Amino acid sequence: MIPKVGLYHLSVPSNPAGSTPEGSGVPAMTWWERVKFALVRPPDDDARETKPDERSAEEIEASIRTADDKERAIGLIAAPLAAVIGIAISSASIDYAKTHHQSLAVYDELTYVILGLSVLMLATAWWRKRLFLGITMALYGLAVFNLHYWGFGIPFLLAGSWYLVRSYRLQQALKRAQGGSTASARRMTAGTGARPRPSKRYTPPT
């Protein structure tokens, strides 16, 4: 018999979803299913609501143009780390090519590409270019991933995706802010009863 520990009493409803009354032909939920239902219940509607962005369109545009200190610091740390990883990968690849009597030209070009991406990563982080930094980190991670060094490529892929997602969210926030500003201007115009000024380029028909 399973003892009634504290986990058993985790806000489990008396008739949770999926359980049916006796005689319906559907088996009731087991003890483990009831515990999982209590732990992974969807949050309430109030918890799902996100705090609206109260920044103006000008402030969001400034955030889009330049990355913040946290994003810049991550890029400045990742760039030299990417260069060290690139040199280590290139050295290992060149040693492998020498051992198996393969051409070294491809691996030399690979070294230049990886180091070039590292320098570009450093430059975009220094000048706070969020979008280009995300693209550069994603390309670096993809290049390392394709060389079968998954442990080094996946972190850069995730970091680049994080930058790109932040850029996308800022663009969406800017659209909402601009839409709200336009709607407010229309309401003010409708409240004052002022008509929009006619376009000077309009030529009435003769």
Structure tokens at 177: 């802010």
* pLDDT value, residue 4: 47
Do residues 94 and 107 lie in contact, with contact meaning Cβ atoms separated by under 8 Å? yes
pLDDT digits (tens, 9 = 90+) for 157-185: 999 999 999 999 999 999 988 886 665 55
Structural domain harbouring 160: 76-173
- Kindly state whether residue 132 falls inside one of the protein's structural domains: yes
**Overall number of domains in the chain:** 1
- Kindly state whether residue 32 falls inside one of the protein's structural domains: no
Q: Which residue has the tokens 């369109």?
A: 57
Nearest to 80 by CA among 108, 117, 113: 117
- Kindly state whether residue 27 falls inside one of the protein's structural domains: no
**Distance from chain centroid for Cα 3:** 44
- Kindly state whether residue 149 falls inside one of the protein's structural domains: yes
- Kindly state whether residue 153 falls inside one of the protein's structural domains: yes
- Kindly state whether residue 8 falls inside one of the protein's structural domains: no
d(CA 158, CA 153): 9
* pLDDT value, residue 18: 47
- Kindly state whether residue 47 falls inside one of the protein's structural domains: no
Do residues 82 and 149 lie in contact, with contact meaning Cβ atoms separated by under 8 Å? no
pLDDT at 22 over 70: no
- The rounded mean pLDDT for the chain is 78
pLDDT at 12 over 50: no
Supply the DSSP string of 70-87, one letter for each residue.
Answer: HHHHHHHHHHHHHHHHHH
pLDDT digits (tens, 9 = 90+) for 45-55: 444 445 666 78
d(CA 87, CA 158): 21
**Which pTM was predicted?**
0.63
- Kindly state whether residue 142 falls inside one of the protein's structural domains: yes
